[in-house]
Amino acid sequence: LKSSTFRTVVKAKSTKQKATASNGKARTYTWYNTNKLLGSYKGAIGIKAGTASGSGPCLVFAATRNGKTVAGVI
């Protein structure tokens, strides 16, 4: 969480990136952050929401309030 680049990436609600598609042409891809804490929880930094076959639904989160940052995994 000390990296400003990391914080910028994980708190973004969406991002557009250019990459080469399978046909060899350049394409712009848009990814959306599914972390519902962003924009709904004051101080939310974000991080990652998702599902894995081994763990099921999970959330890695961080938030800063009153100068203190907490992080957790559910």
Residue 44's domain spans which residues? 4-73
pLDDT class of 8 with cuts at 50, 70, 90: confident
Closest CA to 46 of 31, 58, 34, 61: 61
pLDDT of amino acid 50:
85
pTM, rounded to two decimals? 0.65
Q: What is the number of domains present in the chain?
A: 1
What are 25-61's pLDDT values in tens digits? 999 999 998 888 888 889 998 888 888 888 899 888 9
